[in-house]
Structure 1
Amino acid sequence: MKVLTGLDVLINDKELQSKFSGNVALLCHNASIDANFTQAAVKFKEIFGSRFIKMFGPQHGFSTDVQDNMVETDHYVHPFFKIPVYSLYSETRIPTDEMLEGIDHFFVDLQDVGCRVYTYIYTLTLLLEKCGTKDIQIIVLDRPNPINGIDVEGNITESKFKSFVGRHPIPLRHGMTIGEVGLMHQNLWAKTKVNFEVVKMENWERAMFFEDTKLPWILPSPNLARAESTMTFSATVFLEGTLLSEGRGTSQPLEIVGHPKIEPYSLYENHLLEIIKKSKLEGFVLRPITFLPTFQKHANMVCGGFQIHVTNKSRFKPWRTGQLILRELYHVLGEDFKWKQPPYEYNHTQMPIDIINGTDKLRHWIENNEPLEILESFESLDDYKEQLNAIKIY
């Protein structure tokens, strides 16, 4: 049975619509569509008319057309809707008092990817914190976690490595919908609670991957054009903390890894094949490839590397797989391997890889070539799973 998103539920329920009698704002992006591919803002104009007064966009912009980290988007008046569009990835990531003026109901309709470093969940929690002293209702129109709501994986972010890619103590693969992130925020992290509501999906089950929902996939950021990429994202996002290519500038970003100094076939046959066997990691195949990025890292240089093909999503462990690949390439490339230097996501002092990992211990694990079994010690998730169980709404 096809899943109905929170947006679809709102569109289909006149009684629910009538609960929101004041002025309305919408935080959305390119992937904020209904089951018929109609953009949420179009439906809001139909439903709320002149009470629909403001729109907001997250990182990558309202139109999801901005490529990279720390590339900000401007505020403007939309030429069709004739209302302001405010960027929450601009000179500020927190809505200002002026931006929020006149709003009674603030809707959030964003497609998350289930990974801690994806910033849309923090745009939501910053909004919740800002509205703690305001008479504004926050409503999340919920959407699926595309990599399911059961599996959690990775270390918990340490407090000293908090950032805009890791504001809260959650694992890399967090197992929540964006609505549940809001509920966890209100339950555990909020100093002042707000009038908060989640419009639940219908027919979504926690074991679903995105293709099980029968919903259309629209890229939620410029380099996640395929739903399949959400599974590899939690493995390849670590490469943002290095000068290895994660495939940006190709047609398969965040599914591939490479570097100009890699000869992929010999590296795979003589090294990685045996390492992967010993690791007992399953559910994926590394396919040796060469590729030519047209922009970003190693632009217009032929790179050797690998595409990660996920063959069994239920068995694939992206966090562990990504850490293993990073450890091996660190030692194989030697002096040609470079950690990216600050700044990264507005942090000008700490190493980007440590910000992404939420700890510096994993970088030391990589540099010291420590055994894969040690990774288990980073995953102390019992407390987190209890917290997750307390706020689950599906």
Structure 2
Amino acid sequence: MLLGSERLLASNRLKGLNVGILANPASVDRDYRHIVDRLAAAADIKLAAIFGPQHGFNSDLQDNMIETPHATDPKRGVPIFSLYSETREPTKEMFDPIDVLVIDLQDVGARIYTFIYTMANCLQAAAKTGTPVIVCDRPNPIGGLQVEGPMLEPGYESFVGQYPIPMRHGMTVAELAKLFNEHFGIGAPLEIVTMEGWSRAQYFDETGMPWIMPSPNMPTLDTAIVYPGTVLFEGTMVSEGRGTTRPFELIGAPYLDADALAMRMNAHGLQGVYFRPAVFEPTFQKHAKTPCGGCQLHVTARETFAPVIAGAALIRECIGLAPDQFQWREGPYEYEHEKMPIDILAGSPQLREQVEAQVPVAEIAASWTKGVADFEALRAPYLLY
């Protein structure tokens, strides 16, 4: 398999240009060579600016809503512009030194992962300035076949969901760029460099590529597989495992009985997953230094595992097990002050209302069917593989 970045650098397309690059530590090739290093080493390319997404160019900041400062790269002497700072869209001044912006970011396949909206914001800025944008494609690490979850509804747009797509979208970053730019009308001068040798059924560990953490709490492919569902716990006061070595795989709270929660979850008979009772102690974030009862998700068959319904079922059972102690997280969340964080994450109040009412899990999943089918038809013209 060849990445889009490898094909771009082999093409001499950037010869003689002042290049800006949007990247982070995961922007490497199969030989662990970082795209910034390769651009800086090229004799006929001038690296003019670096742009960093959420968590920073070095991906060293842990949490949401911790803004990353602008800086100067000490090795190369070029500016590093943070796009998770006082601005999330590049300014004209940021684009002034560059002839073209190259985007090489590793997405994880979930609507709420902010890198795809940093890309969209760059396209919006490029549409205003006329700056060409080249998006280098990378694998969707959890495959490009399965689509799942509730749709984002109008009025619930945020930096964790700018466009009406389902929670698990099944698209690559370049496919999303085309969808945003064409269907949603951004209209930037966009060029796509596709991969060679990637198929939609492939998970990341089948590509031969090294897994580099795209963000601080995405340590492994296992994390990415469960993330589209268990990230919903960011909208609750139940720990999503931040502060442990298994974020998003461990779910729990001090008041939950681990055996009871795991038993309730396994009783649903969800495909491709086993819920093992677990007690864990986060080192930071929710319930830091306090033992939490809960469970760990063990994915036994990822092709049949549906992470979003698993996450919804887990919230439902946490409420059912301890209705007087379960709490929704209060705002603000991603600078949104008026709406509940869970509604921002889910894309509407519907999921919250369903789990509060203890709607059967199968009925919750069925409520997504039409939205998913409509999206699959919508995305079809933008699929590249």
Tell me the TM-score range normalised by the shorter chain.
over 0.9
The count of corresponding residues between Structure 1 and Structure 2 is: 383
- Larger deviation: 286-295 or 377-386? 377-386
Alignment correspondent of 2:367: 377
Secondary structure, in 3 states, of the residue corresponding to 2:329? Answer: coil
Contact 2:265 2:313 in 1 (8 A): no
Q: Tell me the distance in 2 between the aligned counterparts of 1:339 and 1:59.
A: 24
TM-score (normalizing by structure 2):
0.97
Match of 2:112 among 83, 99, 117: 117
Alignment correspondent of 2:194: 200
Structure 1 residues 1-80: aligned runs within 5 Å: 3-11=1-9, 13=10, 16-47=11-42, 51-80=46-75
> Which residue does the alignment assign to 1:253?
247
Q: How many Å apart are 1:341 and its aligned residue? A: 0.5
CA contact (8 A) 1:339 1:353 kept: yes
Residue in 1 that maps onto 2:229: 235
State the one-letter code of the partner of 1:45: A
CA distance in 2, matches of 1:170, 1:20: 37
In 2: Cα distance, 1:171 partner to 1:224 partner: 20
Return the offset for 1:156: 1.3
State the SS of the aligned residue for 1:172: strand
Q: What is the TM-score normalised by the length of structure 1?
A: 0.95
The reply on whether 1:268 has 2:258 as its aligned counterpart is no
How far, CA to CA, are the matches of 1:198 and 1:267 in structure 2? 46
- Report the Cα offset of residue 102 of structure 1: 2.4
Structure 2 counterparts to residues 180-199 of structure 1, below 5 A: 180-191=175-186, 193-199=187-193
Helix, strand or coil at the partner of 1:161: coil
* Cα distance in 1, alignment partners of residues 87 and 356 from structure 2: 36
The SS at the match of 2:167 is: coil
Task: Identify if the C-alpha distance between structure 1 residues 103 and 133 changes in structure 2 by more than 3 Å, giving closer, same or farther.
Answer: same
Matched-pair contact (CA < 8 Å) for 1:56–1:86 = yes
Residue in 1 aligned with 2:93?
A: 98
The offset of 1:235, in angstroms, is 1.6
Q: Report whether the alignment pairs 1:219 with 2:213.
A: yes
Say if 2:203 is the partner of 1:209.
yes
Task: List aligned pairs for 1:224-373, cutoff 5 A.
Answer: 224-269=218-263, 271-274=264-267, 276-277=268-269, 281-373=270-362
SS at match of 1:222: coil
Structure 2 CA distance for aligned equivalents of residues 176 and 4 of structure 1: 17
Amino acid at match of 2:145: I
Off by >4 Å, runs of 4+ in structure 1:
none
Contact 1:6 1:201 in 2 (8 A): yes
Aligned 8 A contact 2:49 2:97 in 1: no
Asked if the contact 1:153/1:173 (under 8 Å) is kept, the reply is: yes
Match 2:167 to one of 160, 167, 172: 172
Provide the residue aligned with 1:391 in structure 2. 382
CA drift at 1:20: 4.8
SS of the aligned residue for 2:198 comes to coil
Q: Does structure 1 residue 162 correspond to structure 2 residue 160?
A: no
The residue type paired with residue 198 of structure 1 is I
- Output the amino acid matched with 1:60: H
Out of 135, 144, 153, the residue aligned to residue 148 of structure 2 is 153
Is the CA contact 2:266–2:274 (under 8 Å) kept in the aligned structure 1?
no
Give, in whole Å, the separation in 1 of the partners of 2:374 and 2:2.
Answer: 31
Alpha-carbon separation, structure 2, partners of 1:51 and 1:259: 51
RMSD (CA atoms): 1.3
* 1:299, distance to aligned residue in structure 2 (A): 0.4
- Alpha carbons 1:156, 1:379 under 8 Å: kept: no
Letter in 2 for 1:21: G
Identity %: 40
Measured against aligned partners, the alpha-carbon deviations of 1:292-317 in whole angstroms (never above 9, x if no partner) come to 10000000001111110111011000
Report the Cα distance in structure 1 between the residues aligned to 2:147 and 2:321, rounded to whole angstroms.
30
In structure 1, C-alpha distance between the alignment counterparts of 2:317 and 2:331, rounded to whole Å = 23
The CA distance in 2 between the partners of 1:267 and 1:174, in whole Å, is 29
Where does residue 82 of structure 1 map in the other structure?
A: 77
Please report how far the alpha carbon of residue 324 of structure 1 lies from its aligned counterpart in structure 2 after TM superposition.
Answer: 0.6
Matched AA of 1:189: F
1:198-254 C-alpha deviation (Å, 9 max, x unpaired): 111111001101111111000000011111110010121000000100110011111
Specify the SS of the correspondent of 2:166: coil
The 2-side partners of 1:184 and 1:350 are apart by: 27
* Partner secondary structure for residue 151 of structure 2: coil
Aligned-residue offset at 1:49 = 5.6
SS in 2 for 1:286: strand
Instruction: Give the secondary structure class of the aligned counterpart of 2:48.
Output: strand
